[in-house]
Structure 1
Amino acid sequence: MNSTISKIKGIFNLLKHIDIDQISKISQKVDLPKLMDQFSKLDENQIKGLAKMLDSSGRKKELPPINGDFYELHMKLTEEQRAIQLQVREFMEKEAKPLVNRYWLTDDFPHELIPKFKKLNLCGVTYEGYGCPNLPFLMEGVIAMEIARVDASLATFFGVQSGLSMGSIYMCGSEEQKQKYLPGMQQFDLIGAFGLTEPEVGSGAAGGLTTTCKKVDGGWILNGQKKWIGNATFADVIIIWARDLDDNQVKGFIVEKDTPGFEVEKIKGKMALRIVQNGLITMKDCFVADSQKMEHANSFKDTAKVLQMTRAGVAWMATGCARGAYESALEYTRKRKQFGKPIASFQLVQGHLVEMLSNLTAMQTLVFRLSEMQDADILKDEHASLAKVFCSLRTRDVVAQAREVMGGNGILLEHDVARFVADAEAIYSYEGTKEINSLIVGRSITGMSAFV
C-alpha cells in the first residue's frame, strides 16, 4: 500500500513539470491511460530520474571555462605580473586575432599593429635602462607564451625585436651603441633583425660561417649572404655575424638598412610563420664604420650568449602555440555536434583532449622552472636546449591531435589550428634543431662531445 502511494506521489511530482498545453500535445500522440499505466510500474528512483531530466531539460548546462593553465601556474605570478599577462592576452585577443589569419594567408605583415605593440611598453623585457621595463625572465617567457597563444608569427616578430636584435646590442654593444639604438628599438621606432644563418650554413654556424669581415682603414668590409632573417625586409637595424678573415673568429656588426652594398630580398613560398617577413640578405663589399662593430662581439661564444637567452624564449613560444591549439580544439569540440551530441562528450575525443592537456601542462611546468633558473642566474646552455627540444616536440603532438579532433575542418584556416600546425614545424627547427640541441644536452650529461 505504502509503495503504491509513493509511486502515485512520484507520478504527480513528475507531472507538475508539464503544463496543460504540453499534456494536450502529448494526448494527441500517445495513449495517456497506457502511459499512466507504464508510469505506475516505475520505481521511485526511476521516477526521480525522469523528474530530474524534465526539470533540467530547459536549462542550458554551464560548462567549465576553457583554460589551458590546468595547474594554475599563473598563481606563481605577483599581482603586477598577472596584470601584465592579462594585458598582453587582451591585446592579442582584441587587436591581433582578428587580423592574423588574413595576413597569414597573404604572406604579409600587419604593420598597423606596431604602434599598438609600442603602447604595451614591454619590448626589451628584461633589460635595465634605455626605457626597458626590467622585468624578470619569467615575464619574458609569459609574454612570449601569450603572444604565441594567438599567433606564433607575431611572437617571432616580438622575439627577434626584443630578444635577438636588442639582446645582441645589450649584451655585446658599447655603451654608446646602446644609447644610440636601444631606446628607439624599445619603442618600435627602430625595427631590428638578427643575421646569423646562411643559405648553406645553419647548425654549423659556430665554425662555418661563409659571410666574412675584413678590417680596413676606418671600418670593415662585409661579404656574403644571410638567409631566413626575420623582420629583414623592413628592419632599420640588422645584426650581422661574420667570420674575420684575419683571425677566423666571429665578429658582430650593427648594419643600418641603407648601407651601400647591403640588399634584402623577401623569401616567398613558406608554409609556416607566413606573417614573419624572412629575408635573404646579400652583402657585396659592404662597408661599415668601426663605430658599427659591436665592442664585445669577438667570438662565437659571444653569439652563443645571446642564443642561450633567446632559446628559453622559444621554448615558451612553443608552449604558447600548443596552448592556443589545445584551447581552440576544446572550444570546437564543445560546439561541434555529431549523432545529436557535442563531440566533446565522446570518450575517444576526451582521450585526445586529455593527452593534449597532459603535454601542455608538462611544457608549462618545465618552462616556468627554466625561467626561475634564468632569474637565479644558474641557467646553462643544456637547460635551455632541453626545454627547446622537449617543448617543440610536444607542441607537434598537441597541434596534431588538435587537428585530428576537428576532422576535416581542422585544415581550414578559419578554425586557427591549421595555422598552429604549420607554425609548429618552424618552431621545431629554428633556434637550433632537435638534433643539435640534443647533442648539447648529451654533451652535458655524458661529458663527451658528439659534435663533428
Structure 2
Amino acid sequence: MTTSDFLGYQDLLTDREQAALSELRAYLDAEVRPIVNGCWERAEFPMQVIKPLAQLGVYSYSWPELAPFENSAVFRGFVALELSRVDASMATFAGVQTGLVAGSIAVCGSPEQRAEWLPKITSGELVGAFGLTEPLSGSDAARGLQTTARREGDTWVLNGAKRWIGNGTFSDVTIIWARDEADDQVKGFMVLTDTPGYTATKIEGKISLRTVQNADITLENVEVPESMRLQNANSFKDTAKVLRLTRAEVSWSSVGNAVGAYDAAVAYSKSRIQFGKPIGGHQLVQDLLVKSLGNITASLGMVVRVSQLLDEGTQRDEHSALAKTYTTSRMRETVAWCRELFGGNGIALEYNVARHFADAEALYSYEGTQEMNTLIVGRTITGKAAFI
C-alpha cells in the first residue's frame, strides 16, 4: 500500500493473507481500474469481473468450509478496503454477494440449505441480492416491514415491494424478508428471480455508486416452496444477525473509498505543476494531505480493532455501529479534501477522485444511517433508548 497505511496495520496479516491481498490488488489494478470510470459514467456493471473475483476467493473467505485458506476478519476487512480503493461499487457488489446473501444462508439457513446454496453463491455460479429495504420502510424495518408472506400448505405466497436492492436487476436469487401474516414475525425466503410475479426495475438517475445495479422489486403473489424458506429465520432478530456481519465491512469499504481518493490526490500532487513546482511542495496542499491521512489512519485503527473483536468472539452491535458512524463521517471529510486538492480537475472522472467523492454519499447512508448507528451507540453510553 501507499502511505495510506501509515502505521503498518497490514503487517498484522499472515504471509498467506498478505500474498492473497497482493494478488487481489494486482487483479484490480490491471483489470478493474481501467474500466471503472466508464462503467460508472454509463451506470453499467462489468459482468466479466464476477467469476475472477470468485476465483480469487473474494466471496468465500468468510465461510470456513469454502475458504481457500484459514483467514482472519482483519484480512477480510482489507479485502473490502482493496475493492473499495479501486471502486466502491465493486466492494458493494461483493458485500451483497458475500455478507448479505451468503450470510443470510449461512446464518439463517438449515445445514442442507447451507450445503446446497453457499457453493453456488461463493463460486459466482449464481448472483444474489438482498431484499430488506422497502419504499416506506428503511431504518424502521424491524417494525415497519410491509411485505407479507402467507402460507398455503407447503407454499408461501409473497406480496409487497422492495427498494434500493443492490444487484437486483441481474440477480439469480434474492433473499426476500417478509412478515408472516400468521404470527407477524419477519421471515426470510430465497426467491428465484424468474418466479412468476417477481419483477425488478432498475433505479435510474443516481449520483452515487452508479455502477451498482439497484432495483425496485415488486412481488405479486410470488409462490415460494417451504424448502426455500430460510429455516432458521423466525424473527427480525435473526435478520439482525446477518446485518451485524456486514456493518463492520462497510466501515472497511469506507476507509477504502477514502484511501482511493487519497492515493489519487498524492499522485496528482506530485505531477501537477503550478507556480513552477509540483503542487505537493505547497503548504496548503500538504495540509490537505496530512488531514486526509490522519482521518484514514484513525479510521483504519478503529476497523482493525473491531475486526479483531470479531475474531475473538466479543464484537457487539455498538462496536460496529461506532465504526460505521465514525469512519463514514471521516471518509466524507477526506474525499472532500482530496477533491479540493484537484481544483477544477477534481470534478472530472479521468482524474480518479470525483467517483470516490460521489460514492461516499451512498456509503454514508446505507447499512444503517448515521443517525441510527449514533442511537445504537448512544443507548450503550446512557442506557436509554432514544430511537423514537
Moved over 2 A (4+): 130-135
Structure-1 separation of matches of 2:182 and 2:278: 68
Equivalent in the alignment of 1:240: 176
Q: For 1:102, which of 38, 43, 67 is the aligned residue? A: 38
Point out the structure with max Rg over C-alpha.
Answer: 1
Q: C-alpha offsets along residues 104-158 of structure 1, whole Å, 9 cap, x if unaligned? A: 0000000111222122123132212146655221121110000000000000000
Equivalent in the alignment of 2:129: 193
In the alignment, structure 1 residue 138 sits paired with structure 2 residue 74: yes
Aligned residues: 388
Report the secondary structure of 1:304's partner residue: helix
Deviation at 1:218, TM superposition (A): 1.2
Distance 1:147 1:162, change over 3 A: same
Structure-1 separation of matches of 2:57 and 2:294: 34
In the alignment, structure 1 residue 402 sits paired with structure 2 residue 353: no
- Within 5 A, what are the aligned runs for 1:75-86? 75-86=11-22
TM-score (norm 2): 0.98
Structure-2 separation of matches of 1:318 and 1:133: 26
Equivalent in the alignment of 2:371: 435
Structure-2 separation of matches of 1:76 and 1:118: 24
Deviation at 1:327, TM superposition (A): 0.9
Deviation at 1:235, TM superposition (A): 0.7
Equivalent in the alignment of 2:228: 292
Equivalent in the alignment of 1:183: 119
TM-score (norm 1): 0.84
Equivalent in the alignment of 2:265: 329
Contact 2:88–2:359 under 8 Å retained in 1: yes
Q: For 1:369, which of 290, 301, 305 is the aligned residue? A: 305
Report the secondary structure of 2:215's partner residue: strand
Contact 1:127–1:134 under 8 Å retained in 2: no
Structure-1 separation of matches of 2:331 and 2:143: 30
Distance 1:129 1:426, change over 3 A: same
Equivalent in the alignment of 1:120: 56
Structure-2 separation of matches of 1:397 and 1:110: 29
Structure-2 separation of matches of 1:115 and 1:443: 42
Q: For 2:28, which of 78, 92, 97 is the aligned residue? A: 92
Structure 2 residue ranges without an equivalent (≥5): none
Distance 1:66 1:177, change over 3 A: closer
Q: C-alpha offsets along residues 179-201 of structure 1, whole Å, 9 cap, x if unaligned? A: 22111111101111100000111
Equivalent in the alignment of 1:205: 141
Contact 2:188–2:229 under 8 Å retained in 1: yes
Structure ranking higher on relative contact order (CA contacts 8 Å, 6+ apart): 2
Equivalent in the alignment of 1:10: none
What residue identity is the alignment partner of 1:425?
E
Structure-2 separation of matches of 1:157 and 1:347: 39
Report the secondary structure of 2:189's partner residue: strand
Deviation at 1:74, TM superposition (A): 1.2
Q: C-alpha offsets along residues 186-241 of structure 1, whole Å, 9 cap, x if unaligned? A: 11011111000001111110111011111111121100000000011111111000
Contact 1:66–1:327 under 8 Å retained in 2: yes
Structure-1 separation of matches of 2:58 and 2:44: 24
Contact 1:382–1:440 under 8 Å retained in 2: yes
Structure-1 separation of matches of 2:287 and 2:96: 37
Structure-2 separation of matches of 1:375 and 1:119: 24
Equivalent in the alignment of 1:310: 246
Q: For 2:165, which of 229, 232, 239 is the aligned residue? A: 229
Distance 1:325 1:265, change over 3 A: same
Contact 2:58–2:94 under 8 Å retained in 1: no
- Within 5 A, what are the aligned runs for 1:319-398? 319-398=255-334
- What's the RMSD between the two structures over aligned residues? 1.1
In the alignment, structure 1 residue 171 sits paired with structure 2 residue 107: yes
Structure-2 separation of matches of 1:297 and 1:133: 29
Report the secondary structure of 2:137's partner residue: coil
Equivalent in the alignment of 2:360: 424
What residue identity is the alignment partner of 1:238?
T
Report the secondary structure of 1:333's partner residue: helix
Distance 1:133 1:208, change over 3 A: farther
Structure 1 residue ranges without an equivalent (≥5): 1-64
What residue identity is the alignment partner of 1:322?
A
The percentage of aligned residue pairs carrying the same residue is: 49
Distance 1:66 1:186, change over 3 A: closer
Structure-1 separation of matches of 2:329 and 2:60: 28
